[in-house]
Amino acid sequence: MGNPEVAQLQSMGQQAYAHLLQGRADLARPLVEQLQRLRPDDPQVRQLAGQVMVIGFECSARRTPYTPAPRPAPATAQLDLVAFHVDLPRAPSGIHGQIDYTTVLSQSFESAQLRAPGARRILLTDEATRVPGTMPVDEVIRQPIDRDRLMFERMRVQVRYLEARAAARSSVLMDSDVVVNADPAAVFAEEFDVGLTWRPGFPDSPFNGGMIFVAAGSGGVEFFRKAHACYGAIAEEAARLRLFARDLRAWWGDQFALAALVGYREFAARTTEGLEVDGTRVRFFPCESHNFTLEPAQKYRTDELRRKFFIHFKGNRKALQDQYLAGMRAGKF
Picking from 43-52, 89-98, 192-201, 314-323, which range would have the lowest pLDDT averaged per residue?
A: 89-98
* CB 110 within 8 Å of CB 151: no
Of residues 284 and 97, more confidence is placed in 284
Spatial CB neighbours of 164, under 8 Å, sequence gap ≥ 6: none
Structural domain boundaries in the chain: 4-56, 65-329
Give the range among 183-192, 243-252, 318-327 with minimum mean pLDDT.
318-327
Q: What pTM, to 2 d.p., does this model score?
A: 0.95
Please report, rounded to a whole number, the percentage of residues in the chain having pLDDT higher than 70: 96
Starting at the edge strand found earlier in the chain, the sheet holding 178-180 runs 178-180, 310-312, 292-293
Alpha helices by DSSP H, listed for 116-252, are 150-164, 219-241
pLDDT (0 to 100) of residue 142 = 98
The four Cα atoms 15, 258, 95, 242 give a dihedral, to 10 degrees, of -70
pLDDT score at 1: 39
pLDDT in tens, 15-49: 999 999 999 999 999 999 999 999 999 999 999 99
Q: How confident is the model at residue 2 (pLDDT cuts 50, 70, 90)?
A: low
What is the arithmetic mean of pLDDT over 232-249?
96
> How would residue 332 be classed by pLDDT, with cut points 50, 70 and 90?
confident
**CA-to-CA distance for 242 and 7, rounded, in angstroms?**
28
Task: Report the share of the chain in percent with pLDDT over 90.
Answer: 89
Tell me what the pLDDT averaged over the chain comes to: 94
**Across residues 236-242, what is the average pLDDT?**
96
3 state SS of 172: strand
Average pLDDT over residues 317-325: 87
Q: Average pLDDT for residues 263-280, to the nearest whole number?
A: 98
Please give the backbone phi and psi of residue 122, each rounded to the nearest 5 degrees, phi first: -125, 140
Grade residue 91 by pLDDT with cuts at 50, 70 and 90: low
CB 119 within 8 A of CB 81: yes
| Mean pLDDT across 293-309 | 92
6: pLDDT confidence band, cut at 50, 70 and 90?
Answer: confident
Distance CA 117, CA 111 (A): 9
Architecture in CATH for domain 65-329: Alpha-Beta Complex (3.90)
Antiparallel, parallel or unpaired: β 194-198 and 207-214:
antiparallel
Residues 92-147: pLDDT tens digits? 555 555 688 899 999 999 999 999 999 999 999 999 999 999 999 999 999 999 99
**CA–CA separation, 176 and 116 (whole Å):** 16
Question: Bridge partners of 80?
Answer: 120, 171
| Residue 316 pLDDT exceeds 80 | no
Question: pLDDT value at position 117?
Answer: 96
